[in-house]
Amino acid sequence: MSQERPGRAGPPPATALREAGEWRERWSAHGQPWRTEPEIAAERQRSLAERRAVVPNLARGVFPFSGMALTRADVEWLLATHEQGCGPVVWDEEGQRTREGLDLRGADLHGVDLSGLPLARLRGGLMEHEWRTATKALLEAAAIHLEQADLSHAHLEGARLEGAHLEEARLGHAQLAQANLSFAYLEGAYLSEAELPGAMLLGAQLCGALLTDARLEGASLRNAMLAGAELSGAHLEGARLGEARLAGCRLAAGELARIRRWRPDFSAELAGADLVGAFFDAATTLDDAILGDAVYGAVSLADARLGGVNLAVVRWELVPELGDERAARRLAGEEGAKDEAAVHELRIAVRANRQLAVALQEQGMNEEAARYAYRAQVLQRSVLWRQLRRGDTHTLGPWLFSWLLNLLGGYGYRMWRILAAYGVVVSAATLAYYLLGLHAAPHLTWQVALLSSITAFHGRVFSEQFAPGSAQAWVAAGEAITGLIVESIFIAMLAQRFFGK
C-alpha cells in the first residue's frame, strides 16, 4: 500500500489547472511564453518594486533582495517589468548583450522552479574586480542561493554567478555561454548537456557534478575541483584545466556538512573524475592539472578523444593506475560480483590503458607509455583468467602464455626479470652438472660446470663431453630449450625497447 510523502501536497484541483492554462495562454498572447504563473498580488508587486529600488551598498553588504525568499512568480514579474518594462535581456540579439540583467544578489531561491526562464546577464554575485578585494562575509552576502533550484533549459548566457550556491541544482540543457561561475558551489549539480562555451569556472566547486555531454569548449576550469565529477562525452576542446583537481579526494568536514544540507547521502570520499569519451584537442590545456591520487584514485579515460592535447605537462607519477582500472578491480573483488560484469569492466580498463599508452608514445613520453602498456597486459591476463573460470577452455593457452611472458619479462617492460631468469637457469643447471658428476663421469669442477651451463644455455649442447642418454645430457638439452625461449623473449624485449616494435 503506497503512502503519501510527508509535506507534499496532493494534486491541484481542476479549477487551479484550468486557471494555470489560461494564464499561460494569456502570457503567450503578450509575447511572454516563458511565463507560467499567475500574476502576483498588487501588494507583493509593491514590495518587490521597493526592494528593487534599493541602491546596492558594497561596503555594507546591502543588495536589493538580500535574504529575501522569492518564488517563480516573483521572478517572472521582475523579468516582465525589468528596466521600466523593457523585459529580460535577449541574448540572441547582440545589441542587448551589454544590458544589465536582474540583480538578485543575496536572494533566496533554493528549490524554486526557474526552468526555461530568460535570465541572461543575471547578476548573482560580485564581479571580478569586486571579489578580488572582498571579504569572505561580503562574498557570501552577495551570493545568490539556488540550491536544488530547477534551472533546466533556462537562459543564463552571460550571467554573473560568482560564488553562487548551486548545490544539487538542476541545470540540464541550460544555456550558460560566457557565464561567470567562478568560485560557485556546484557540488552534485546536474549539468548534463548544458551549454557552457566560454564560461568562467575558475575555482568552481564541481565535486560530484554531472556534466555528461556538456559543451565546455573554451571554458576556463582553472583551479576547479572536479573530484567525482562525471564528464563522459563532455566537449573540452580549448578548455583551460590548469591546476584543476580531477583526482579523487576526501572532503573536509566543513565542506561535507554544507553539501549534506542539500544531499544527506553525499559521499565524503570521491573517486577521480569520469572523462570516458570526453573530447579534447590541441588547444585544451592541462598545465599542472592533478589527474591522480594514490589513495583516492585517478581519472577514468577510456575512449577519451585526446586529440593532441599536451600530456607532457601532467604529473603522471601521481597516476599509478587509471580510474577505469580501479573501478574494474573493485567490482572484480566484490563478493557475488558476476564474471560477465567484471570481464566487461576489465576490458574497458585494458582499452583505457592502451589508448593512453599510445597517446603518450606519440608525444615521445616512452617511460610513461610503457607503464600503462604494462598495466594493460596485466589486466588482459585477468580477463583471460575470468573467462577461464567461466569454463572457456580456449583461453587456457593464451592465459598460460601471458603468465609466462609476465614471469620472464614483464611483457617486455621489466628487463630485470629476464636477466634474473637467465641467472636462475644457469645457476640451477650448474648445480645439476656438478652434483650429477659426483656419482658419474665426467666429474666437473664448479668452474667447468658453470662454463658447461652457459654453453648449453646458448645452444652448444653437443660441444660437451656428456655421454648420450646420461642425466647430464638431458639437463643440457633441457637447458638449451629453455635458453632458446629466454633468448627469444630477450631479443623481442630489446626490439620493443629500442626500436618501438
* pLDDT tens string 425-476: 778 878 887 777 766 666 777 777 787 777 777 776 544 566 666 777 777 7
Q: Is the pLDDT of residue 355 over 50?
A: yes
State residue 173's pLDDT score: 98
State residue 335's pLDDT score: 56
State residue 474's pLDDT score: 78
Phi-psi domain of 106 (left: phi exceeds 0; alpha: psi -120 through 50; beta: other): left
Alpha helices in 31-135 (DSSP H): 42-52, 72-80, 82-85, 128-131
State residue 460's pLDDT score: 65
> Residue 355's beta-bridge partner residues?
none
C-alpha 298, offset from chain centre: 8
State residue 407's pLDDT score: 65
SS (H, E, C) 398-455: HHHHHHHHHHHHHHHCCHHHHHHHHHHHHHHHHHHHHHHCCCCCCCCCHHHHHHHHHH
Phi then psi dihedrals of residue 489, to 5 deg: -65, -40
- Longest CA span, the chain: 117
Please tell me the distance from the alpha carbon of residue 366 to that of residue 357, in angstroms, as a whole number.
8
- Amino acid in position 365: M
State residue 497's pLDDT score: 60
Question: What's the pLDDT tens digit per position in 137-196?
Answer: 888 899 999 999 999 999 999 999 999 999 999 999 999 999 999 999 999 999 999 999
Q: Is the pLDDT of residue 405 over 70?
A: no
Q: Is the pLDDT of residue 9 over 60?
A: no
State residue 170's pLDDT score: 98
Q: Which residue has the higher pLDDT, 135 or 93?
A: 93
State residue 467's pLDDT score: 65
Among the ranges given (201-205, 376-380, 410-414), the one the predictor scored with the smallest mean pLDDT: 410-414
Alpha helices in 143-241 (DSSP H): none
State residue 492's pLDDT score: 65
State residue 139's pLDDT score: 87
State residue 479's pLDDT score: 73
Q: Is the pLDDT of residue 11 over 50?
A: no
Q: What is the mean pLDDT of residues 363-376?
A: 88
Question: What's the pLDDT tens digit per position in 412-428?
Answer: 666 677 777 777 877 88
CA distances from 350 to 232, 375, 376, 386 (A): 18, 8, 5, 14
Among the ranges given (82-91, 125-134, 154-163, 171-180), the one the predictor scored with the smallest mean pLDDT: 125-134
Q: What is the mean pLDDT of residues 330-352?
A: 81
Q: Which of 197, 224, 226 is nearest to 210 (CA)?
A: 226
pTM for the full predicted model:
0.81
